[in-house]
Structure 1
Amino acid sequence: MLHLFENNEQADRYLVGPELTRPGIAESCALHPPNVSRTMRELLRKELVSEHTRNVKGEDRRQKTWQLTDEGRKSVKATIKRLSSISIVIRDNSGELLELEASEVSKRLDAKISLLQILMHAQHEGVLTYGDIRFGAIRKAESFDKSPPGRLKALTGAHATYHNKPPKTRFVHGRESQIDQLNDWFEQRKPCMVVHGIAGIGKSTLVAHWLNGQLEQNPNLSVCWYPCQPWDTPLGLATSLLHRFGIDEKHDPYNLIETLPLNPGGVVDVDTWRRRLLAYLTDARTIRERFKSVSEGPPPYWLIVLDDVHHIESEAAKLLGALLQISKSSPLRIIMISRTRPTVYDRRDVHTREIVTEHSLQGLSKLEMQNWLSKINVDEDLESVFEKTGGHPLALELFELYGQSLHVDWLQFLDDEILFKLPDNERQLLTNLASHDKPVSWDLLAEQSNWSGPPPKDLISHGILIELSEGMWLHEALKERLLRDIQLD
């Protein structure tokens, strides 16, 4: 009924649009067509709608259509008042999450979007984002300035989901060898770099620090820093990337927007998206035309940084795989930052095809720790601090701030981000391993922990459980944390 009310201006017309037909209603309301017929029969019995056979624009045959009766219009107005007060979560043009009534959403998003569209998108996607190209052009009454392409400045509202520059970082201690590896990868122009390691080890900080240095040397470098969130979807990522590549309603020569589901709850056509995006990125004339108004001209290539990609890897595996495939044949390069080693590529891409370069980020070395600790007054010796922190930068920062190598915030971080998220059997496995003074063979550890089967892949991929030639071992910081539980017992 809300959909029919939004198309009420077509009531009693001889020629109507497809919005009033069964297929049109089904598409707009995300319904299966037979369900539309059943619903309409119920509304007809209640005399809330009337049924007609009319000519439809673009169709040769007359079709069955529906419109609201006077009673239906009265009824739906009360419904609109109730629905307009529903709380909706949006991400505004500054990237902040806001909760407001549905009636205010279109104004805050500067978009011509109906109440039904707002409710449908909220139901299927959770968060409505400022600048989403599915909502049409940004409409601001006070300004009609043309937005520049996304390379130098984000398309209006696009920075709500991604950034043109990496975040500012705290001072980075050490990491010279890791920065050299990033520089080598950058100079070799390989398609993809993966930086993975346990939570808080400094992955994003390292990449951001390195990238800020690159931007100082090359300020025209075209960057898209996309922080993946637990609620992100493949559609959100695909939409933001099109923003960054300069695709909008006025410039879409390869019809890329058609690959996105314009209706809520739809699925991205990944294969078509991949084919068309590859054609677009390799069309030099089209790219030059898109960025002709930019003084520096078209970007030589795009550098896409997917931060915390583990949040969306399982759901967006096909899209990430397509993006990796595009990077092999286009001016596109990717950096993935993850707590686990991504599974969207295989080992051949790393070792033989040289498409992906991997770096497993560990804690700071003892030498790097010594240089850091030498700048602050500490009572504990280097070995003691290393045993308690494992060179974890967050633990050392808290040590610098509070003078405690095992500060309560550090222990809380280990609990919240790692230990409390583990199944009981995996946590018991780590606890048993922590009680040993040296690496233990897997057979012995499995027997002590009543574990059947091979070592847990998740613990190994997260860098929590370490396979050494001498046997199994675990991260020093976790060992120290688990030993506290053992001592309390």
Structure 2
Amino acid sequence: MSLIHNALSETSPRTLDAFVVLGSIMSEGIPRVSVPVIDRILLHLWEQDHQADHYLVTNEVTRPGISEVCAMHPPNVSRAMRDLMSEGFVSEHMRSIRGEDRRQKTWQLTDDGRSVARQRISNLRSNKVLLRGRDGKLLEIRADEAAEKLETSLSLLQVLMHAQHEGVLNFGDIRFGAIVSSHEKKVPPSSILSGAHSTYHNRPPSTRSFHGRSSEKEELDRWHSSRVPMFVLSGIAGCGKTTLTSHWLNDLLSNVPDTEVMYYPCQPWDTPLGIATSILHRIGIGVEEGKQDPYMVLGALPLKPGARIDIDTYRRRLCAHLLDDAKLVKANCSELLVVLDDVHNIGPEGSHLFGALLQVAETTSLRLILISRTKLAFYDTRDVHTRKRVDELDLSGLSMEEVEDWISTIDLPEETDADKVHSITGGHPLAVELLELYGETLHDDWMRFLDQEILDVLPIESREILSILSVADRPVPWQVLARAASHDGPPPGDLIDRGLMLELEDGMWLHEAIRTRLLRDVGRPLEERLRRLTDASDA
């Protein structure tokens, strides 16, 4: 007795409280949990019943897996399985195991076994277990309520096995896994659109001064007055695609102020899902106050990170919302002009979304303008010339007359020749703008722009083809150019799509601004390229 007294005197007050509480509980009868072997196996196979009849299963339905989960020796598992199979509650199968090279014996419940398991589970759920909650108090509750109190994802079998072997389940036990709070607020559907307003603009951006492009603006006017749903504007970097579109849009908004516009500048990190979400936000689809979604378009957007958008459902429901045949939308826009700038940043992943938006624009009031440095592949030539679904404009440099008119407004030396400026720069607006700022036709910033935005991003083989072509004084047939560059196959798609190499009747040629830049690589590289081109021509 003195030994017990000494031990208790050295024990902390908190431990003494626990002894007192446990003593009072034990005097009243501590809840004892004892799960029979057969019940363990039936409960475990019930929890793994989603793997029934699968070709590939996990280790949980093999003998080692059942032995570990049910706290049984492997021979006892085999013995229990023979008894269950003789009763017709379990069936045995040889199956492939995930992560294993050889097939193993597995077991699953039969229909009779499932009926018996449901009866056993209803009894096991009502078993009382003892646990210490977050506040340190001991609680006696039903087994099926323990996981919620412990804020874990424990299964019923895991709760019962812990209770059987340890008596008390403690909140925060590291063996129970991460704490999963049941009080966390569910994210409302409207959070899908959070921040979407910051990804697009209702008006075009402010750009540099505008010169020329009268014929191009007329093409945009003709497209807008027609019923062709999409306009695609392409051209090399810095040739004025955004500037042209912005000035045309500003003129349109000044003449038709009620025009609804969505200007979306695509960034390298953008995704098709981001574009699709922003379009819904611009249209006014949502669940918060002032928004509406009677056709459940938001249901087509994935709720899990990394999941893909259901393009077909998105297209059909967006069409239904914009058409609104059922008159469910309170305020629908009469026409929305969506401008997607720099869509080349999206890459091939955006083709399905752009194709779906084209279909939406064909049947609704949606109009699309896509701006890209490359040729887009989600439509073909028939859509442009036969089906009249798409209008295209390949934007090149300013014309000789436009460069001359621009230079006439700049205070430059008299010897500055507009013809020479045009031949060197190819009429590239950025080059002329730098000439206006610095008074130099070939400014360092211009050369740096050509390198960083155009040439440095090309594959080495494609750049070498352009370098060889730059030493020629006239178009070169592709057979000759390919022989000089030791290239097999057709012209590289990245050069043709970006408009860096042009297919003319006489052969291949390149943008004058690129040619001027490549000819600055003087010395042995230039001489070697000229020799290779000459040898290929003679051959």
TM-score, normalised with respect to structure 2: 0.64
Q: Is the 8 A contact 2:197 2:278 kept in 1?
A: no
Tell me whether 1:263 sits opposite 2:304 in the alignment. yes
Tell me whether 1:426 sits opposite 2:466 in the alignment. no
What whole-Å deviation, never above 9, does each CA across 1:325-346 have from its counterpart, x for those lacking one? Answer: 1111111110000011111111
Tell me whether 1:275 sits opposite 2:316 in the alignment. yes
> What does 1:61-460 align with in structure 2 at a 5 Å threshold?
64=155, 69-72=170-173, 135=191, 157-250=195-288, 251-283=292-324, 286=327, 289-291=329-331, 298-379=332-413, 380-460=416-496
Cα 1:36–1:204 change in 2 (3 A) is farther
CA distance in 1, matches of 2:463, 2:218: 36
Partner of 2:75: none
Structure 2 letter corresponding to 1:290 = K
Q: How much does 1:133 deviate?
A: 6.1
CA distance in 2, matches of 1:36, 1:356: 56
RMSD: 3.7
Structure 1 letter corresponding to 2:430 = L
Instruction: Please give the secondary structure, in 1, of the residue aligned with 2:387.
Output: coil
CA distance in 1, matches of 2:142, 2:450: 63
Cα 1:52–1:415 change in 2 (3 A) is farther
Alignment match of 2:519 (pick from 478, 483, 487): 483
Instruction: Please give the secondary structure, in 1, of the residue aligned with 2:519.
Output: helix
What whole-Å deviation, never above 9, does each CA across 1:136-167 have from its counterpart, x for those lacking one? Answer: 687xxxxxxxxxxxxxxxxxx43311111111
Partner of 2:33: none
CA distance in 1, matches of 2:456, 2:142: 58
Q: Is the 8 A contact 2:193 2:281 kept in 1?
A: no
Q: How much does 1:387 deviate?
A: 2.2
Instruction: Please give the secondary structure, in 1, of the residue aligned with 2:494.
Output: helix
Instruction: Please give the secondary structure, in 1, of the residue aligned with 2:218.
Output: helix
Instruction: Please give the secondary structure, in 2, of the residue aligned with 1:328.
Output: helix
Q: Is the 8 A contact 2:190 2:286 kept in 1?
A: no
Cα 1:371–1:255 change in 2 (3 A) is same
Identity of counterpart residues, as a percentage?
46
CA distance in 2, matches of 1:388, 1:460: 21
Q: How much does 1:253 deviate?
A: 0.8
Unaligned runs of 5+ in 1: 1-21, 24-32, 58-62, 81-111, 118-131, 139-156, 292-297
- Kindly report structure 1 stretches of 4+ aligned residues shifted beyond 6 Å: 33-38, 47-51, 65-68, 73-80
CA distance in 2, matches of 1:478, 1:224: 34
Cα 1:71–1:400 change in 2 (3 A) is same
Structure 2 letter corresponding to 1:283 = D
CA distance in 2, matches of 1:402, 1:471: 36
Instruction: Please give the secondary structure, in 2, of the residue aligned with 1:224.
Output: strand
CA distance in 2, matches of 1:218, 1:206: 18
Q: Is the 8 A contact 1:200 1:394 kept in 2?
A: yes
Structure 2 letter corresponding to 1:326 = V
What whole-Å deviation, never above 9, does each CA across 1:434-465 have from its counterpart, x for those lacking one? Answer: 00111111111111111111111220111000
Structure 1 letter corresponding to 2:397 = G
Q: Is the 8 A contact 1:246 1:290 kept in 2?
A: no
Q: Is the 8 A contact 2:236 2:499 kept in 1?
A: yes
Q: How much does 1:72 deviate?
A: 4.4
Cα 1:443–1:475 change in 2 (3 A) is same
Instruction: Please give the secondary structure, in 1, of the residue aligned with 2:172.
Output: helix
Q: Is the 8 A contact 1:113 1:135 kept in 2?
A: no
Structure 1 letter corresponding to 2:448 = Q
Q: Is the 8 A contact 2:237 2:454 kept in 1?
A: yes
User: Across the two proteins, how many residue pairs are aligned to each other?
Assistant: 377
Q: Is the 8 A contact 2:197 2:281 kept in 1?
A: no
Structure 2 letter corresponding to 1:309 = V
Cα 1:69–1:264 change in 2 (3 A) is farther
Structure 2 letter corresponding to 1:486 = V
Structure 1 letter corresponding to 2:248 = W
> What does 1:22-61 align with in structure 2 at a 5 Å threshold?
53=144
Instruction: Please give the secondary structure, in 2, of the residue aligned with 1:362.
Output: coil
What whole-Å deviation, never above 9, does each CA across 1:153-193 have from its counterpart, x for those lacking one? Answer: xxxx4331111111122221000000000000000121000
Q: Is the 8 A contact 1:197 1:362 kept in 2?
A: yes
CA distance in 1, matches of 2:146, 2:282: 42
Q: How much does 1:56 deviate?
A: 12
CA distance in 1, matches of 2:342, 2:356: 18
Cα 1:137–1:353 change in 2 (3 A) is closer
What whole-Å deviation, never above 9, does each CA across 1:62-109 have from its counterpart, x for those lacking one? Answer: x946999522489999999xxxxxxxxxxxxxxxxxxxxxxxxxxxxx
Q: How much does 1:290 deviate?
A: 2.9
Instruction: Please give the secondary structure, in 2, of the residue aligned with 1:279.
Output: helix
Partner of 1:94: none
Structure possessing the higher relative contact order (Cα contacts under 8 Å, 6 or more residues apart): 1
Cα 1:36–1:168 change in 2 (3 A) is farther
Q: Is the 8 A contact 1:54 1:64 kept in 2?
A: no
CA distance in 1, matches of 2:143, 2:201: 51
Instruction: Please give the secondary structure, in 1, of the residue aligned with 2:376.
Output: coil
Cα 1:136–1:315 change in 2 (3 A) is closer
Q: Is the 8 A contact 2:468 2:484 kept in 1?
A: yes
Q: How much does 1:195 deviate?
A: 0.2
Cα 1:72–1:134 change in 2 (3 A) is farther
Cα 1:397–1:76 change in 2 (3 A) is farther
